[in-house]
Amino acid sequence: MLALRRVQPWAVGFAQRSATKQVALASTAVDTDGSHSQSSGEPVAPQKHPRAIRTRRPRISLQHPREWNRPLAFGVLPAFDEALKVIKEDSMALKDEVTALEGAIAREKETPQPDQHALRMMEDKLRILEVQSEINFPQVRWKCANGMADMSKAVDRHLLEQRWRKEGALDLLMERIHQMKVVPDVLPDIHPSLDLRVNFPKVKSNAGLQATVSKAVYEHVEPGVFLLPEQTVEPPKIYTTVFHPEERLYTLLMIDPDFPDETNKTFQTYLHWLQPNIPLSSVSPSPVPNLNTHTAYIPPHPQRGTNYHRYTVLLLPQHSRLSIHMVAKDKRTGFDVRAFMEKHGLDKNVGGGVHMWREVWSEGVPAVYKEILKTAEPKFGRMPKADRYGDFRGKKRYV
């Protein structure tokens, strides 16, 4: 038996109105000139386009700052008010410890022979206490999550570093670095300690033979993606998020480990860019300025007939200021990254930054050879298959 269900009167009315509306729409016809007409001759009301839904969330950044507001007014939820009270009391107790430890450090430095090991231990503890004294405040976490971090504060630096290390950005970078064999082809290992980001012009159109790019609009490059040679004609904008407050020196390298070596029928490294003695700290401006004053940037130019090229940017920490000679255009082929690091005392194990992307040949590469390199463009291909019977061809089969 069929189960019957009583239909409410309002449902019947809704169904009748829906059916009437569908019949009216079905009887509407569209003329060839685009005007609407109805079989009965009555005019049809113009269709209304759906209104775009605006988001109520304001733009929040350092350029458009906002202040944190309590999600609940005082007295609405006593447990929330008590939690904020406990956080504030804990912060005040930790700040008292910070003040006492700062005094102990100052007294130790005033002694004739200060204990350096004890000083380092106290300074490390001081940094931990400074972070713990403010890390639980909701307004501190809210500002860091909305792009308003103050990099002069230890707690903000700590929160941004934890976000970079634990929320996927560093994992994606290291995944692409190892998947594309940048490690170990370029370096045997690398341990990034700062967030290095690369921005190139955005592609406006890629319909013709040669792509057109926007000179004003730059976009973030995800590690490992493919870019067009037309995008990389000009030097990229280098952004860094550094987590140490003191100023340190770095060396910027951009290389291509997939440059053809015709003599040995293999690949070699080509140096595209070199800039030593870059001062960086947590409050350094971004993008990093004055990066093209040493060994000038040469755009990527993947050769026709070769596979994709892995263009790698390295930001290597220095121990002191370096005196490095500029590398001429004809001396960039066969650049040895490991020998360069060993010669100048650059240690990959103490941190730094890394980024990479890929490119293949396109219609924009010949212009790089003609206008910048001033050489003829080479063309490569697969070696012809060996003919095992070539020596016997043309000879008489039967004598």
Q: Tell me how far apart the alpha carbons of residues 41 and 23 are, in angstroms, rounded to a whole number.
A: 15
Answer yes or no: are the C-beta atoms of 120 and 77 closer than 8 Å.
no
Q: What is the sign, positive or negative, of the torsion defined by CA atoms of 291, 343, 313, 212?
A: positive
User: In this predicted model, what pLDDT tens digit does every residue of 111-155 receive, in sequence order?
Assistant: 999 999 999 999 999 999 999 999 999 999 999 999 899 999 999
**Looking at residue 201, what is its pLDDT?**
95
Contact 240, 217 (CB under 8 A): no
DSSP H helical ranges for the chain: 9-26, 78-110, 116-132, 138-145, 154-166, 169-179, 182-185, 337-344, 365-368
d(CA 150, CA 144): 8
Give the pLDDT confidence score for residue 78 in this predicted structure.
94
Range 381-394 average pLDDT = 80
The residues spanned by each domain of the chain are 78-166, 169-373
> Within a 10 A sphere around the Cβ of 202, how many other Cβ atoms?
13
- CATH number for the region 169-373 comes to 3.90.280.10
pLDDT tens digits, residue range 184-215? 999 999 999 999 999 999 998 776 667 788 88
User: Residue 357 in contact with residue 221, Cβ under 8 Å?
Assistant: yes
Whether pLDDT at 29 is above 90:
no
Tokens of 63: 């350029």
**Rg of the chain on CA atoms, in Å:** 32
pLDDT bucket at 60, cuts 50 / 70 / 90: confident
Looking at mean pLDDT, say which of 25-29, 66-70, 107-111 comes out highest: 107-111
Average pLDDT over residues 250-266: 95
What are 325-353's pLDDT values in tens digits?
A: 999 988 999 999 999 999 999 987 888 99
Tokens (6 digits) for 2: 């069929």
Q: Say what the pLDDT of residue 284 is.
A: 95
CA 60/CA 142 separation, integer angstroms:
11
Q: Picking from 8-17, 363-372, 375-384, which range would have the lowest pLDDT averaged per residue? A: 8-17
Q: What angle do CA 274, 279, 281 make, to 5 degrees?
A: 130
pLDDT of 59: 75
Both tokens assigned to 379:
């063309």
Residue 336 sits at the vertex; the CA angle it makes with 186 and 231, to the nearest 5 degrees, is 60
